[in-house]
Amino acid sequence: MNIAELEKIARALVAPGKGILAADESSGTIQKRFEKIGVQSTADSRRDYREFLFRTPAMREFISGVILYDETIRQTAKDGTPLVKIIEASGAIPGIKVDAGTKPLPACPGEVVTEGLDGLASRLADYHKLGARFAKWRAVIDIGPGIPSYDCLHANAHALARYAALCQAANIVPIVEPEVLMDGDHDIDRCYAVTEWMLKETYQELYYAKVALEGTILKPNMVISGVKAARQASVQDVAKLTLKCLKECVPPAVPGIAFLSGGQSDEAATAHLDAMSKMGPLPWTLTFSYGRALQAAPQKAWSGKPDNVAAGQRAFAHRARMNGLAALGKWSPSLEKEAA
Ligand code: 5MM
């Protein structure tokens, strides 16, 4: 493990005004996204879509890294150029999702654990050869009556730590993603309590697994009201409580925190990041690692039609720019009207 090299990559992923494009939808998830826009999900349609995203000129200015799915890291563009090379040519770092998704956690009704540790060391070595310099593993924690349980948080935190240690041994920066879902009708205080508990467990397990925090990135949820909660917390409250929770739990050795969007609207995800960035100085750099909040607009604009590729790229460039500004605390709602 080369900690200096890992730290260099981690810091590049959270370079000022840049963030991560989470384009690592598994086949099932991308199919659901494509169904919404009336596009059949095939290897070619997935390639065409991702190729135009990665060829968008705004990548150079606002995107530091791209998280890929196994299929995508091996795919070539229409002209035969590997998609990884297109990402590298934009100045961004290729990354790879290495978890194998969630499975029900025995004896814990309604709870899941993320799998994928078996054979991970050799998969990481292969991915490094294919160009990946960082990886991602997502743990999923649901809030509901009587859940989450300690068993669920512990099992998921332990798996995250095992994954992170294996990544570092392969000279790959682990993005540690413990996602507390925003589904449900819980209030923001309940989200705070569960997020704090999961982050405490995660950093404890990372310590036991001897993970060098300097060579990691945290990808957390924001502390936010459940989507079905009667009262939705304000942007300022989300920003204040998220930062309070992160300061309680995340050591300053971590170079950066790249939030997931989790189902927030595009503009809410941007507004929350911007509000937090304006509340600095902070011990770590804040940025985005959004999937839906970066891609919903370009998917809609494209809708699978070759003639709409330019419109799709404009929509992606706009969201990338809005979030790049938000990472610097320089966004304002009026900028949204400038959608190119
Ligand atoms: C892009 O979506 C990712 C892959 O999801 P599946 O494994 O279910 O296909 C997802 O892990 C994503 O990277 C994060 O959850 C952040 O995405 P959002 O949409 O929450 O910003």
Does the annotation mark 219 as catalytic?
yes
Residue 176: the pLDDT is: 99
Claim: this prediction has a pTM higher than 0.85: yes
Query: Residue 291: CB within 6 Å of ligand 1?
Result: yes
Can you point out the beta strands (E) in the chain?
19-22, 63-68, 93-97, 102-104, 112-114, 134-141, 173-180, 217-218, 256-259, 285-290
Residue 340 has pLDDT above 90, yes or no: no
339: pLDDT confidence band, cut at 50, 70 and 90? Answer: low
Distance CA 203, CA 14 (A): 20
Residue 289: the pLDDT is: 99
Chain centre to alpha carbon of residue 213: 18
For a pocket test of ligand 1, which of 163, 261, 288 has the largest count of ligand atoms closer than 8 A to its C-beta?
A: 261
Chain centre to alpha carbon of residue 144: 23
- Each residue's pLDDT tens digit, 78-111: 999 999 999 999 999 999 999 999 999 999 999 9
> What value does the mean pLDDT take over residues 288-316?
98
Query: Residue 260: CB within 6 Å of ligand 1?
Result: yes
- For ligand 1, the distance from its centroid to the CA atom of residue 291, given in whole angstroms, is 6
Angstrom distances, CA of residue 102 to CA of 66, 113, 120, 137 = 22, 5, 16, 11
337: pLDDT confidence band, cut at 50, 70 and 90? Answer: confident
- For ligand 1, the distance from its centroid to the CA atom of residue 260, given in whole angstroms, is 8
CATH number, residue 71: 3.20.20.70
Q: What is the percentage of the chain residues whose pLDDT exceeds 90?
A: 98
Residue 275 has pLDDT above 60, yes or no: yes
Does the annotation mark 338 as catalytic?
no
> What value does the mean pLDDT take over residues 258-263?
98
- Each residue's pLDDT tens digit, 216-244: 999 999 999 999 999 999 999 999 999 99
Residue 86: the pLDDT is: 98
Shortest-distance atom of ligand 1 to CA 259: 21
Residue 1: the pLDDT is: 81
Query: Residue 138: CB within 6 Å of ligand 1?
Result: yes
Domain count within the chain: 1
- Each residue's pLDDT tens digit, 2-25: 999 999 999 999 999 999 999 999
One DSSP character per residue, 64-119 reads: EEEEE-HHHHT-B-TTS-BHHHHHHHTTPEEEEE----EEEPTTSTT-EEE---TT
Query: Residue 70: CB within 6 Å of ligand 1?
Result: no
- Domain containing 313 equals 3-338
Q: Phi, psi at residue 265, to the nearest 5°?
A: -65, 160
Residue 80: the pLDDT is: 98
CA angle at 295 for the pair 104 and 44, rounded to the nearest 5°:
85
Residue 338: the pLDDT is: 76
3-state secondary structure of 288: strand
- Each residue's pLDDT tens digit, 135-189: 999 999 999 999 999 999 999 999 999 999 999 999 999 999 999 999 999 999 9
- For ligand 1, the distance from its centroid to the CA atom of residue 23, given in whole angstroms, is 8
Closest by CA position to 6, among listed 166, 133, 161:
133
Per annotation, catalytic residue among 51, 111, 177, 205: 177
